[in-house]
Chains A and B, each alone.
Chain A
Amino acid sequence: MNLGFVVGVIGVLILSHAAYSTIQYRGLLKIMEEEFSRPPMNVLLELIVGLALCMWAALTFPGKFLSIHPDSDENRTVSLPDSSEFMIFNHRGRLFPPQIDMKF
């Protein structure tokens, strides 16, 4: 796939690793019988890195912005809409013998 998707997957993997570290940290706190106030500093750093990567992926993966000016350089070729009103059937293809593939 393209780069944005890979970066997004890496960001999600970093976030899930941080979640697992927090679960282990909570288990450790239960043993030591202390209160949980916030995750440890390395987990917070990992979360910030994961958030930055996911943000970059979210801004590049969904696609580019297209200009809406009708007379800009990238809008020069126009495409007819693919609706069924523009299809014609009265062409040379109707003279070909039909291919019958019927399996019983």
Chain B
Amino acid sequence: MGSVEKRSKDVMSDIPTFSAENLQNNLKVIQNSRTFLSIIAGVLAGIIGFNGLTGFVFYFVVMLITSVGLMAKAGFSADLYFDSLNRVLFDGFLGGLMSFVLFWTFAYDLVHIF
């Protein structure tokens, strides 16, 4: 086999090797999707005019919808594309929060304070 392989530490699983570069590609796809959607969520929160905690609740709602969308994209069988389900659901959650707050304040200033 010429593809780059990596042995997982878990002896109990029935798939001892998997292709690591495909896994990296899948993780990059999730990261890009989440970053783009957190920027869009920030712009939306700024336009609607959320103040305080409501905005963060909106961000978590959008991230939950993103998780559902990513699971649907993976066909609801995550072990065909990832080694653990937690990666799909919770990988880029807090990383997008910074971008969300940045674009939230940016859009809020643009629309409401000008």
- A75–B29 CB distance below 8 A: no
Cβ contacts B1-44/A at 8 Å (1 or 0 each): 11111000000000101111011011011001100110010011
Nearest CB in chain A to that of B25: its residue = A66
The reply to whether the CB of A7 lies closer than 8 angstroms to some CB of chain B is: no
| Range class of the A interface residue count | 35 or more
The reply to whether the CB of A3 lies closer than 8 angstroms to some CB of chain B is: no
Cross-interface CB contact of A38 among B37, B48, B83, cutoff 8 Å: B48
The reply to whether the CB of B53 lies closer than 8 angstroms to some CB of chain A is: no
- If over half of A's interface residues share one DSSP class (helix, strand or loop), that class is named, otherwise mixed; here it is helix
Q: List chain B residues, Cβ under 8 A from A39.
A: 47-49
Bound Cα distance A67, B32 (Å): 18
Cross-interface CB contact of A19 among B3, B40, B110, cutoff 8 Å: B110
25 CB < 8 A contacts A-B: A22-B47, A26-B112, A36-B49, A38-B49, A47-B44, A47-B48, A55-B40, A55-B65, A58-B36, A58-B66, A62-B29, A62-B33, A65-B29, A65-B73, A65-B81, A67-B22, A68-B18, A68-B80, A69-B19, A70-B19, A72-B80, A75-B19, A78-B1, A78-B3, A80-B2
